[in-house]
Structure 1
Amino acid sequence: MRILIGALSVAMLAGCVSPAMNDARSKAPTRVLASAKPTPLVAECIKFSWQDEGVFGVDASAYINTGKSGELTVYTRDAGSFADLVPQGTGTAVSYYAKQPDDSAAMRRMAMLATCL
């Protein structure tokens, strides 16, 4: 029962943040990066680093959404920051988006993301 409730919560959360993400994607990403690592490995690293309560406090949340063709999106609770990861050969192209790119939390998330490349 708990698993079902958790799955429904994540599905509802993804539906709420999609408009914000689509709006952000209509503009240029805050930063475009690349990695030689496989996409799932980079996504898990980003998710794990964004969940660090020591860095982000009680707002330490991150989720992974799987898209078409192996594309992954790692995003925060309110989609204030998210990263689209696209497989490129044996590596990964990463587009990082932040609602407020000069915000200290957004800059920390970008720095944490960079450590995963």
Structure 2
Amino acid sequence: MRMLMVVLAAALLAGCAGSVMNDARSKSPDKVLTSDKPEKDVARCVQFAWQDEAVFGVDAAAYLEPRESGGTTVYTRSAESFVDVITEASGTTLNYYAQKSDFVAMRRMAAMATCL
């Protein structure tokens, strides 16, 4: 029964995060970066960087999710910050979005930039 509750809670959170991300994607990204590295490597690196408790404290959760239109999304709880990592002809593009422009969002962007 507990396992069912955990699965249900995760599904509900993913649904909420998805609508927040879709709303943000209707606007321009806060930052666009590019990399020569493969998409999967960059996405895993960003996830790992965002999970650094020494930098982000207790809220150092980061999740990977495939995008419907291709690529990978790395996001935090409630999609406070997320990045779409997309393979393009010129390399890998990272579109970074943050719900608010605060110290934590800037730190996540800096951590993401170390993965280029």
TM-score norm. by structure 2 comes to 0.88
Q: Which runs of 5+ in 2 are unaligned?
A: none
RMSD: 2.1
Alpha-carbon distance between aligned partners in 1 of 2:92 and 2:10, rounded to the nearest angstrom: 25
Find the counterpart in structure 2 of residue 17 from structure 1: 17
Find the counterpart in structure 2 of residue 107 from structure 1: 106
Change (3 A) 1:90 1:39: farther
- The Cα shift of 1:69 comes to 5.2
Change (3 A) 1:37 1:4: farther
Q: Superposition pairs for residues 1-117 of structure 1, below 5 Å?
A: 9-68=9-68, 70-89=70-89, 91-101=91-101, 103-117=102-116
Change (3 A) 1:6 1:91: farther
Post-superposition, which runs of at least 4 consecutive aligned residues in structure 1 deviate over 6 A?
A: 1-6
User: In structure 1, the residue corresponding to 2:78 is in which secondary structure?
Assistant: coil
Do the aligned partners of 1:81 and 1:99 also contact (CA within 8 Å) in 2? yes
State the one-letter code of the partner of 1:77.
R
How many matched pairs?
A: 116
State the one-letter code of the partner of 1:76.
T
Alpha-carbon distance between aligned partners in 2 of 1:5 and 1:91, rounded to the nearest angstrom: 41
- The Cα shift of 1:3 comes to 8.3
User: In structure 1, the residue corresponding to 2:14 is in which secondary structure?
Assistant: helix
Alpha-carbon distance between aligned partners in 2 of 1:6 and 1:92, rounded to the nearest angstrom: 34
Alpha-carbon distance between aligned partners in 1 of 2:87 and 2:4, rounded to the nearest angstrom: 30
TM-score norm. by structure 1 comes to 0.88
State the one-letter code of the partner of 2:91.
G
Change (3 A) 1:7 1:88: farther
